Amino acid sequence: MFNLMKTAILMAAITALFMAIGAMLGGRSGMMLALVVALGMNFFSYWFSDTMVLKMYNAREVDDSSAPQFYAMVRELAQKAQLPMPRVYLIDEDAPNAFATGRNPEHAAVAATTGILRVLNERELRGVMAHELAHVKHRDILISTVSATMAGAISMLANFAMFFSGRDSEGRPANPLVGILVAVLAPIAASVIQMAISRAREFEADRGGAEISGDPAALASALEKIQRIAQGLPLEATERHPETAQMMIMNPLHGGGLSRLFSTHPATEERVARLLEMVRR
């Protein structure tokens, strides 16, 4: 229920942001048009955002016959977590990573790159997939997927803002400062929203994943290995759609500066330390 409330707040915040941008660009009529667009986006995001994200990554669904060992692992962990069997996807990328998506446990999906299957041993992979199933169990996959879809839409809106802020008689932007302001502030607002919802939930998913798999040390080892290997292997789909980075078990984006400022994941060292503390307890 709490995560549904957070999702509702997020949708309301994005709607308000869209209306403010519409008002800046087109006055009252622009605000009303932005409201209609935002309501349509809210509907689409709730029902179809998971499908959209999976298509962004060219994820292919697998089953008992196409990926028997991996599918059986997810099924066994889902049973341990007392969850319905999610849809299972593979992404043909060398960079090791994984994520969960969907609007609720009954309509959930988990996805992993082929790279993560190659670099992790069985214990480590179990820890990672248990982490993703913990996201499903905690019901935070909806807000994660919705925020990714909406942040992408806001970024697109910001990119077009300067071109739709009106023109003077000579064809120049009537108010270029408005367009520039929107182009700068809108992506930042979206990033702040993502940052606010993401960091604490990763700690909770680590803890929940360790409990589901019964092996916190394996998840800690997986996180260290993923971070080490992913530094030199960009995840191409995430570089094209950075708003989806907050869904991953490890932030796949490269670079510093603002990228670090808006990082949606806690420091790997702190995550590992908490998992190893579970081992000691």
CA–CA separation, 187 vs 194, rounded Å?
11
Annotated catalytic residue 236: no
* Cβ contacts of 80 within 8 Å, gap of 6 or more: 212, 213
Mean pLDDT by 10 residues, the chain (281 residues): 65 76 74 79 74 93 97 98 98 96 93 97 98 94 74 66 56 58 63 64 94 97 94 82 84 62 78 96 83
What residue numbers does the annotated binding site for Zn(2+) cover? 131, 135, 202
Per-residue confidence (pLDDT) for residue 168, from 0 to 100: 53
What residue numbers does the annotated binding site cover? 131, 135, 202
Set 93, 124, 132, 243: catalytic member: 132
Helices and strands of the chain, counted as H and E runs: 10, 4
Short-list 167, 164, 165, 161, CA closest to 189: 161
Per-residue confidence (pLDDT) for residue 133, from 0 to 100: 98
